[in-house]
Amino acid sequence: MNPFDTFSLSPILALDLDMLSKVYQNLAAQNHPDKSGDKSQFEKINLDYAILRSPSNRLKAYMDYAAIEYDARGAVSNDLMDLFMRVGSLIQEADAFIRKKSAATSILAKALLEAESMELQDKLSALISQIESNQSKITESFASPIDNSDLPQIARNLSFLEKWQAQLQQRYGSLF
């Protein structure tokens, strides 16, 4: 069974996430093990909800449903290559700063690093916002017809964007 069936949805790329959330809350409440629900069904609901909330995983589920062949491995498209380089560079910069901050032992040494920390927070926030903007552009295109041959590359791009976003958010959280 595909994740769309769990929520009684037609397989579609452009989902109303607020509506999905409401359906999820109702199904989760009905099937919660603490309310005599089936634990395996509750776990399936949670897993399928996570799949449909993630644009890349939703697209992969759609391709599975539509029997569209794809290879999840591959490179990011050329239009995201500059972003890839910026993400890699900023992750290296953040990791170096986090090591420097963890090596600081005195309160004064930590205080002297605060300005650099705030600058890094701003850079991370800006790049996270840019990634979110790229994700939004792609998911907005789901409302229009898309050639099936383009779907595997779109799925890979979304997977990379989600991975980069998670990596940057992890570094951002490590600054505090």
Q: What is the pLDDT of residues 110-156, one digit of tens each?
A: 999 999 999 999 999 999 999 999 999 999 999 999 999 999 999 99
pTM recorded for the entire structure: 0.85
Class of domain 3-53: mainly alpha
- DSSP letter at 10 equals -
**Distances in whole angstroms, Cα of residue 158 to Cα of each of 68, 91, 136:** 17, 19, 10
- Portions of the chain given CATH number 1.10.287.110: 3-53
Q: What is the CATH topology of the domain spanning 78-174?
A: Methane Monooxygenase Hydroxylase; Chain G, domain 1 (1.20.58)
- Portions of the chain given CATH number 1.20.58: 78-174
**Greatest CA separation found in the chain?**
60
Query: Pick from 130, 132, 152: which is nearest to 83 by CA?
Result: 130
What is the rounded distance in angstroms from the CA atom of residue 138 to the CA atom of residue 154?
8
Q: What is the pLDDT of residues 47-69, one digit of tens each?
A: 999 999 999 999 999 999 999 98
